[in-house]
Amino acid sequence: MSDAKPDDGLISINIDGQEVRCQPGANIIEVAASIGIEIPHYCYHPKLSVSGNCRMCLVQLGLPGKDRATGQPMLNADGTPIIQWFPGPAIACGTKASPGMHIRTDSDMVKQCREGVTEFLLLNHPLDCPICDQAGECRLQEFSAEHGRGYSRFTEEKNVKPKRTVLGPRVMLDDERCILCSRCIRFCREIAKDDVLGFTDRGSYTTLTCYPGRQLENNYSLNTVDICPVGALTSRDFRFKMRVWFLKPTPSIDTETSVGCNTEVWSREGKIYRITPRRNDEVNDTWMPDSGRELYKQVEAENRLKQAAVAGQPASIEEALAAASKNLADGPVAIVGSGRCSVEEQYLLKKLADALGAASRQLVSRIGEGDGLLVSADRNPNVRGALLTGLIDDLPKQRLDDLAARIDAGEVRTIFAVNEDLTAAGLSAEQLAKATIVYLGTHANATSEAAAVVLPGLTVFEKSGTFVNQQFRLQKFHRAVPGVPGARDDLFLLGSLLANATGSQAPTVVASVWEAMAAEIGPFKGLSFAAIPDTGVLVDGSAFAGLPFVEGKSLHYEPAGMEAAATS
Amino acid sequence: MPVKVVERKPLTLAERTYLPQILSGLRITFRNMFKPKVTVEYPEERPPIPPGYRGVPTLVKDPDGREKCVSCQLCEFVCPPKAIRITPGEIPEDSEYAHVEKAPQEFEINMLRCIYCGLCQEVCPEEAIWLQNIYSVTGTSREELVNNKAKLYELGGTLADKHFKWEKKRRAAERGNAH
């Protein structure tokens, strides 16, 4: 205590004999976690309010004693302060750090508390682990093994509660497993702003219930399944599909909007079973929208392109690439890129457009309605990547009317479409028939049917790369499963086309594309794919500050215009 | 290379006559002629299988005819040679056993991979998988040697249940303490 303290506004507290410096008022569970001490808890969640009802995080608190008469600190013979421990335990989640505070997380009293709390939580808990989807990632399972007594003294009949309550279109409730931590209730109230859940009845009759006539059906309902510390809330999509210990998580990005929620893709043996959010305090905290969790179904979709084709006939990739290069050399060429392509693909596409002297380079914009949380108005995940790589220099439009006019005027003979359906973007079948189309994409559509050459590419789950989200945050996604047989990595296809067009070598893997991009693109200077942290890195997007981006305010994002409006 | 010459001892008289060796050999032969037989005339005659023998793994039903497996996939996880493959499934709500909620849609044990270690039986929380006394597995194709769910139940049959865990649960639900 006598050490000279740096004036950084931090205070010193003592956890199990270790001195820790932390912010005044910091949460004890978080401070303990920062030095590797786990205080078990169920109801506490770092992104929700503290309710303090599970009682699992009980610890012993103490303060350095002061002599009542003199006000002087009471000291031991060796000069250390005498700690006066509080007679009863206190919950760590509801305790804020204050100067000189002492905390014991491993005393006999704390151990007895945890054992007692665990015993009470398990009184009426069913022995469901073999059929429970949460088994393997269940806090109750883990803490019962760690802090429980190992056998039951309960000889009475357990409570019987409904086991298959449908709470909403995506969430199912098993009432017997619920430990009444209220995380889901607080999530709906505080984050989703859709206050439909609540407890009814008292004592052991307490039940999690939906408001009569309502359903848990907001676009964030599956987050309650993620934060449920037990198996009470389960996803109806993932229910009974696979045990979690078989699944391998791969860091990825939600591609449905420009928010770029960080996700984890859980797969086993090349099959994806679920998508869950990955914590990133700068982007999505620990949440993600339900709509983004179903995107994995596109991998095994019926209309997936699995075979390269030339003039409607199946061909090998090499034949298709040769035919595509021949068609693209027959200009003038229009390039239609996609805001769903990765930065690397957009960069190679830009290089290809330069090499071909493309007459037109466009993206197709997708505008929806933002919900102010984690779904933004721009439904393309990577429009800003196309701006940074120089593929486009203005915001894309929803319809390719400009391209249509050029086709009608005979100014465009060949169209290279990457992952975009030209018909959906406003071109008519007659216009498509007037031009030679080379299509690189993942799924069959009207454009792929009209195309002279079809190159099958990979979905975001089958390749690695980066996206730039609405904050100009560069974020990585990794390959979770191998590509479907027959399809090839988009980077390989684009790199091969670029090599054919220029007659020299071109990069075809993420790392080598990044070498070229870091050398050429100012905001990417000094970056490499391996060096980008999993939580992303902000790049300089000030050059595009004047563009009228469509996104409104969302979690951790303020549109530039609104900031200016707020300050003026 | 150094060479060590080993001195070869000349044979004794007894060794040269060869009689003691023949007699000691015949002693063993005659002794075994009058002992009880230890071999069996396989395959017409089958050896007795001791209790606890680890033969072919099978799935069993409880005396009520309910399939005991709830497809928790612990055996699939623990299986060292990865011989087990389970497709989990849900028991429909109109089923008699709806309260068990989960049962395997498909359950395959590849007998070309199985090493008869018995870990699946040991790990099973429902006592649904048992290594029983079948020890001779033959087939003419690889597919034939992958036991599917129907085959596994045919081999396993019914086994006495000590716990009736799910039946107790159903009775508790019917009797009350309902919340």
pLDDT at A564 (0 to 100): 45
Which residues from chain A sit within 8 angstroms of residue B88, using beta carbons?
A: 240-243
Determine the Cα–Cα distance for residues A7 and A145; give it in Å rounded to an integer.
Answer: 43
Q: Closest Cα partner for A190 from A50, A332, A334, A343?
A: A50
pLDDT at A9 (0 to 100): 87
pLDDT at A568 (0 to 100): 40
Band of residue A565 on the pLDDT scale cut at 50, 70, 90: very low
Q: Can you give A411-459 as a three-state secondary structure string?
A: CCCEEEEECCCCCCCCCCHHHHHHCEEEEEECECCHHHHHCCEEEECCC
Do residue A129 and residue B74 have CB atoms under 8 angstroms apart? no
Question: Complex ipTM above 0.95?
Answer: no
Band of residue B168 on the pLDDT scale cut at 50, 70, 90: confident
pLDDT at A21 (0 to 100): 94
pLDDT, tens only, A445-454: 999 999 999 9
Determine the Cα–Cα distance for residues B41 and A333; give it in Å rounded to an integer.
Answer: 83
* Paired strand residues for A281: none
User: What are the CA-CA distances from residue A299 to residues A424, A442, A480, A489 (Å)?
Assistant: 21, 9, 11, 14
Share of chain A above pLDDT 70, in %: 97
Determine the Cα–Cα distance for residues B74 and B125; give it in Å rounded to an integer.
Answer: 8
Half-sphere exposure (Cβ direction) of B170: Cα atoms closer than 13 Å? 10
Cβ-based interface (< 8 Å): residues of B facing A: 70-74, 76-77, 88-90, 93, 99-102, 125-126, 165, 169, 172-173, 175-179
User: What are the CA-CA distances from residue A14 to residues A67, A80, A506 (Å)?
Assistant: 21, 13, 58
Q: How confident is the model over B146-163, as a mean pLDDT?
A: 91
Q: What are phi and psi of A511, to 5 degrees?
A: -60, -40
pLDDT at A5 (0 to 100): 56
pLDDT, tens only, A411-434: 999 999 999 999 999 999 999 999
* Closest CA–CA distance from residue B179 to any residue of chain A (Å): 5
Which residues from chain A sit within 8 angstroms of residue B123, using beta carbons?
A: none
pLDDT surpassing 70 at residue A246: yes
Which residues from chain B sit within 8 angstroms of residue A159, using beta carbons?
A: 177-179
Which residues from chain A sit within 8 angstroms of residue B172, using beta carbons?
A: 157-158, 160
Cβ–Cβ under 8 Å, residues A163 and B101: yes
Determine the Cα–Cα distance for residues A452 and A324; give it in Å rounded to an integer.
Answer: 8
User: What are the CA-CA distances from residue A126 to residues A123, A162, A354 (Å)?
Assistant: 9, 12, 65
Which residues from chain B sit within 8 angstroms of residue A164, using beta carbons?
A: 93, 101
Lowest-pLDDT range of A140-144, A246-250, A564-568 = A564-568
Q: What is the dihedral of CA A257, A258, A259, A265, to 10 degrees?
A: 60
Crossing angle of the two packed helices A108-123 and A139-147, in degrees rounded to 10: 130
Cβ–Cβ under 8 Å, residues A130 and A147: no
pLDDT, tens only, A502-542: 999 999 999 999 999 999 999 999 999 999 999 999 999 99
pLDDT, tens only, B16-65: 999 999 999 999 999 999 999 888 999 999 999 999 999 999 999 998 88
pLDDT at A239 (0 to 100): 94
Q: Which among A157, A207, A240 has CB closest to B89?
A: A240
Band of residue B178 on the pLDDT scale cut at 50, 70, 90: low
User: Count of A–B CB contacts within 8 Å?
Assistant: 58
Q: Which residue has the tokens 């009682």?
A: A55
**For residue A239, what is the nearest residue in chain B, using CA coordinates?**
B90
**For residue B165, what is the nearest residue in chain A, using CA coordinates?**
A127
Copy the structure tokens of residue A78.
């060796």
Q: Which among B74, B77, B172 has CB closest to A158?
A: B172
Do residue A127 and residue B126 have CB atoms under 8 angstroms apart? no
Do residue B100 and residue A241 have CB atoms under 8 angstroms apart? no
pLDDT at B177 (0 to 100): 64
Copy the structure tokens of residue A422.
């030209």
Band of residue A469 on the pLDDT scale cut at 50, 70, 90: very high
Please provide the DSSP assignment of B62-131 as one string. -TTS-B------HHHHH-TT--EEEEEEEPPTTSTTGGG-EEEEEEEEETTT-----HHHHH-TT--EEE
* Closest CA–CA distance from residue A204 to any residue of chain B (Å): 8
Do residue A246 and residue B77 have CB atoms under 8 angstroms apart? yes
Band of residue B76 on the pLDDT scale cut at 50, 70, 90: very high
pLDDT, tens only, B92-117: 989 999 999 999 999 999 999 999 99
Q: Which among A129, A157, A242 has CB closest to B177?
A: A157
Burial readout B114-148 (b: 16 or more C-beta within 10 A, e: otherwise): beebbbbbeebebbbbbbbeeeeeeeeeeeebbbe
Cβ–Cβ under 8 Å, residues A380 and A367: no
pLDDT surpassing 80 at residue A566: no
Which residues from chain A sit within 8 angstroms of residue B77, using beta carbons?
A: 243, 245-246
Do residue B101 and residue A131 have CB atoms under 8 angstroms apart? yes
Determine the Cα–Cα distance for residues A243 and A255; give it in Å rounded to an integer.
Answer: 26
User: What are the CA-CA distances from residue A28 to residues A22, A85, A102, A279 (Å)?
Assistant: 10, 16, 11, 20
Share of chain A above pLDDT 90, in %: 87
pLDDT at B159 (0 to 100): 87
Q: Closest Cα partner for A463 from A488, A428, A497?
A: A488
pLDDT at A544 (0 to 100): 92
Do residue B88 and residue A160 have CB atoms under 8 angstroms apart? no
**For residue A130, what is the nearest residue in chain B, using CA coordinates?**
B72
* Paired strand residues for A304: A443
pLDDT averaged over every residue in chain A = 93
Crossing angle of the two packed helices A490-502 and A343-356, in degrees rounded to 10: 20
Burial readout B61-83 (b: 16 or more C-beta within 10 A, e: otherwise): bbeeebbbbbbbbbbbbebeeeb
Which residues from chain B sit within 8 angstroms of residue A175, using beta carbons?
A: 179
* Closest CA–CA distance from residue A164 to any residue of chain B (Å): 9
Determine the Cα–Cα distance for residues A104 and A114; give it in Å rounded to an integer.
Answer: 13
